[in-house]
Amino acid sequence: MRLLLAVFAISLLCACSQAPNESISSAGEPSTGPAVLSYLSRDAIEVQAALPAPPVPDSSPDFSELNEILGFQSSRTRADCDRANREGIGNLAHFFGAPDGSLSADEISHWNPLFERVASDIDYFVTREKKFWGRERPYGEDPGIRPCVPLEKDGSYPSRSATEARAFADILTTLIPAEKTAFLNRADQIANDQVIAGLHFRSDVLAGQELGDAIYQALVQSFAFEQDLSALPRSSSQRL
């Protein structure tokens, strides 16, 4: 009896030693990202297959991308940097609300909860991609690059802002189809501003846009996402 009680106690101790919000992968290692995804499974996007490899440091494509950033650095305006700084907050209001986007305050208020859940799912996959590729930021590779917005410490590839902006634009297009071009153009501007500001290489934002589209395609396969999306009002009184 004492032996059975001892075995039970040891088993209970081992079961409690795992952190409550930490899940273990099939390889026995803690998985990356939030403990709970709202709409997507952890294997919805395959990391290595999702994106092409970024340019190798000190390669010709890499130098070309650095030179592009340096060119923007000499020509960007204070307005460019202010806009990029607003976009760095990375939510529906700062991406597609005033003063740079077309969404009304009422639309943002109604739709923001869904977009926050989507952003959490996006963050999981972007973080996983960044850790997999491990690309250094432009200003880490070339000290001559001086970003005009706060520095980021995580990996450069892919761009989180470009990923979110593109996925958000894809979703907004389903809510207001007539403004598809405007939403996609705005997402392109957000992506380009990451290069102008000196935070990202061009290939970072292109990869982010590609990942954003892939995440959207995965989202529309989610019953929970489709339910939440269909429950949103399609127009606000301001737009009508």
User: 60-105, pLDDT tens digit by residue?
Assistant: 999 999 999 999 999 999 999 999 999 998 899 999 999 999 999 9
**Which residues are CB-neighbours of 31 under 8 A, at least 6 positions away?**
22, 23, 24, 25, 42
- 204 versus 27: the higher-pLDDT residue is 204
Q: How many CB atoms lie within 10 A of CB 228?
A: 16
Q: Smallest Cα–Cα separation from 160: which of 148, 171, 152?
A: 152
How far, in Å, CA of 46 to CA of 219, rounded?
A: 14
| Average per-residue pLDDT for the chain | 87
What is the SS3 assignment for 56?
coil
Nearest to 103 by CA among 112, 88, 117, 93: 93
Q: How far apart are CA 154 and CA 134, in angstroms?
A: 9
Residue 186 region, left (φ>0) first, then alpha (ψ -120 to 50), else beta?
A: alpha
DSSP 8-state assignment for residue 90? -
Helix (H) or strand (E) holding 172: helix 160-175
Please determine, for residue 24, whether its predicted confidence score (pLDDT) is greater than 70: no
Cβ atoms of 216 and 167 closer than 8 Å: yes
What are the Cα distances from residue 67, in Å, to 71, 201, 202? 6, 10, 11
Residue 140: how many other CB atoms lie within 10 Å:
13
pLDDT at 239: 54
Q: Which of 102, 234, 75, 121 is nearest to 179 (CA)?
A: 102
CA distance 95 to 93: 6
H helix runs in the chain, sequence order: 2-16, 47-50, 60-75, 78-87, 92-96, 105-133, 138-141, 160-175, 180-196, 202-219, 223-230
pLDDT in tens, 178-207: 999 999 999 999 999 999 999 999 999 999
Tell me how far apart the alpha carbons of residues 99 and 82 are, in angstroms, rounded to a whole number: 11
pLDDT digits (tens, 9 = 90+) for 132-165: 999 999 999 999 999 999 999 999 999 999 999 9
Residue 99 preceded by cis peptide, ω within 30? yes
Tens of pLDDT, residues 119-132: 999 999 999 999 99
Q: What is the pTM of this model?
A: 0.84
* Domains with residue ranges and CATH for the chain: 40-230 (1.20.144.10)
How many angstroms separate the CA atoms of 69 and 42, rounded?
Answer: 34
